[in-house]
């Protein structure tokens, strides 16, 4: 058999090279399932607007925000010489922002996705929503959109980066990377935190009763809240209206506790009074808000200086999220003479939250904001 000539070898190489360069890279699952997820969301939204039952627990405004974002980018024509368009989603408290983050890569038909989070705890939460972690349910399952067995075809393999170096390596290997954005800021992030985040203390008290609607317990709770908020007023005289948020287990408890605390309290749950009650609390008409499913995360009210756990919270994500409702300094009291309030996390021994606080403190020590590789990679 005659050996191929030099020209034949060159032609063969050039042909294979062209095939390689023109070959379409394998699509991500975000791209593959984009039409399915988009049509599913549109179907859900249509059902909601018709007042019909939906196959999922998604909110209408949650779906609407995601679909409008996709429409915005579909209409935008990128110009190579200009920066790409960006979109900002402003969502109401408790609307499910993590769900939106999970859905967006699909409706945008993304190839590669890098998600920056404000903390490691949120990174872990989003990782669970994208299907990482034992004992957790992906968002698609939690929301009722798909069954667990169907998720293999939907979920993109996830890399959870712990350093900036990981991000570069993981983005080359896969299509989905989540990282705490503070890793990019180094020591600068901790300096920012010190002037925008309140110091926080934990207080655990014995309860006169383990029944939340017991008048004796409600009387004790009211006195404890008044005492702590009074202390906060003394710490920062410029802040005249500190408020409290209480986390309970269900809507019945939310109503019972709020009603038991009297005119100073309201409850915020998914009912017809939600918007009014939330507005009353945000404007300071009510001093105390009792919640169970809404406003546990993402609600930003710097007048909240006290959070109370009246449930056995076992999720580190939920515990961290609700603690976060009281740590934001008052916007008008930052800079050279910042807010002096020391926020308080209150619970009662029956609810066993001291171990959750200890675990939170340990995480803060083990994953300090300023921990970052030096230039030599050591």
**Residues 6 or more apart whose Cβ sits within 8 Å of residue 152:** none
| pLDDT at res. 297 | 66
| DSSP code of residue 94 | T
- pLDDT by 10s per residue, the chain, length 378: 566 676 777 777 777 777 666 655 688 999 999 999 999 999 988 888 888 877 788 888 889 999 999 999 888 766 666 666 788 887 655 567 888 999 999 999 999 999 988 777 778 888 889 988 666 789 999 888 999 899 989 999 999 887 778 888 888 888 988 887 766 655 444 444 444 678 899 999 998 888 899 999 999 999 999 999 999 988 876 666 899 999 999 999 999 999 999 999 999 988 888 889 999 998 999 999 999 877 766 677 888 999 999 999 888 878 888 898 888 776 565 555 677 889 999 999 999 999 999 988 887 665 544 333 333 333
C-alpha to C-alpha distance for 225 and 268, rounded to whole angstroms: 18
C-alpha to C-alpha distance for 272 and 265, rounded to whole angstroms: 17
Give the helix ranges, DSSP H, for the chain.
6-22, 29-32, 34-49, 60-75, 97-107, 120-129, 139-142, 164-173, 187-196, 215-235, 251-261, 274-282, 316-323, 354-366
**Residues 6 or more apart whose Cβ sits within 8 Å of residue 132:** 158, 160
Q: Using CA atoms of 331, 332, 333, 334 in order, give the dihedral in degrees to the nearest 10.
A: 60
Strand partners, 210: none
| pLDDT at res. 118 | 74
Q: What are 349-359's pLDDT values in tens digits?
A: 999 999 999 98
C-alpha to C-alpha distance for 205 and 217, rounded to whole angstroms: 12
C-alpha to C-alpha distance for 326 and 224, rounded to whole angstroms: 16
Contacts 24+ apart (CB under 8 A), 205-210: 205/346, 205/347, 205/348, 205/349, 206/348, 206/349, 207/348, 207/349, 207/350, 210/350
| pLDDT at res. 265 | 96
SS3 call for 197: strand
Domain ranges of the chain: 29-75+87-184, 198-366
**Cβ atoms 323, 245 nearer than 8 A:** no
**Cβ atoms 348, 310 nearer than 8 A:** yes
| Residue 151 phi, psi dihedral angles, 5° rounding | -70, -20
Q: What architecture (CATH level 2) is domain 198-366?
A: 3-Layer(aba) Sandwich (3.40)
Query: Would you call 183 exposed, middle or buried from its count of C-beta atoms within 10 A (0-12, 13-18, 19+)?
Result: buried
Assess whether the region 29-75+87-184 and the region 198-366 belong to the same CATH fold. Answer: yes
| pLDDT at res. 54 | 77
**Which CATH code for domain 29-75+87-184?**
3.40.50
| pLDDT at res. 307 | 96
Query: Would you call 338 exposed, middle or buried from its count of C-beta atoms within 10 A (0-12, 13-18, 19+)?
Result: middle
């Amino acid at each position: 058999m005659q050996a191929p000539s030099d020209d034949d070898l060159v032609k063969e190489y050039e042909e294979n090279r062209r095939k390689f360069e023109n070959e379409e890279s394998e699509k991500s699952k975000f791209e593959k399932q984009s039409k399915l997820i988009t049509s599913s969301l549109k179907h859900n939204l249509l059902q909601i607007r018709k007042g019909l039952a939906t196959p999922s627990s998604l909110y209408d405004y949650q779906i609407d925000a995601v679909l409008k974002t996709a429409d915005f980018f579909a209409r935008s024509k990128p110009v190579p010489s200009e920066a790409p368009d960006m979109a900002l989603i402003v969502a109401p408290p408790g609307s499910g922002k993590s769900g939106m983050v999970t859905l967006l890569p699909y409706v945008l038909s993304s190839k590669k996705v890098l998600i920056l989070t404000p903390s490691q705890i949120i990174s872990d939460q989003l990782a669970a929503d994208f299907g990482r972690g034992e004992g957790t349910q992906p968002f698609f399952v939690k929301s009722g959109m798909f069954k667990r067995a169907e998720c293999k075809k939907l979920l993109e393999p996830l890399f959870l980066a712990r350093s900036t170096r990981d991000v570069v390596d993981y983005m080359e290997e896969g299509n989905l990377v989540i990282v705490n954005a503070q890793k990019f800021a180094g020591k600068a992030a901790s300096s920012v935190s010190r002037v925008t985040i309140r110091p926080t203390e934990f207080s655990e008290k014995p309860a006169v009763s383990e029944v939340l609607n017991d008048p004796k317990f409600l009387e004790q709770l009211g006195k404890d809240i008044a005492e702590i908020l009074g202390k906060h007023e003394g710490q920062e005289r410029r802040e005249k209206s500190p408020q409290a948020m209480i986390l309970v287990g269900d809507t019945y408890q939310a109503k019972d506790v709020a009603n038991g605390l009297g005119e100073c309290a309201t409850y915020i749950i998914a009912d017809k009074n939600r918007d009014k009650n939330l507005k009353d609390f945000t404007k300071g008409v009510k001093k105390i808000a009792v919640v169970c499913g809404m406003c546990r995360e993402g609600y930003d009210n710097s007048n909240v200086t006290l959070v109370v756990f009246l449930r056995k919270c076992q999720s580190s994500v939920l515990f961290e999220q609700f603690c976060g409702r009281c740590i934001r300094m008052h916007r008008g009291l930052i800079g050279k003479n910042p807010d002096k309030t020391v926020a308080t996390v209150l619970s009662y021994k029956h609810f066993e939250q001291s171990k959750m606080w200890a675990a939170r403190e340990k995480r803060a020590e083990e994953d300090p904001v300023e921990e970052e590789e030096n230039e030599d990679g050591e």
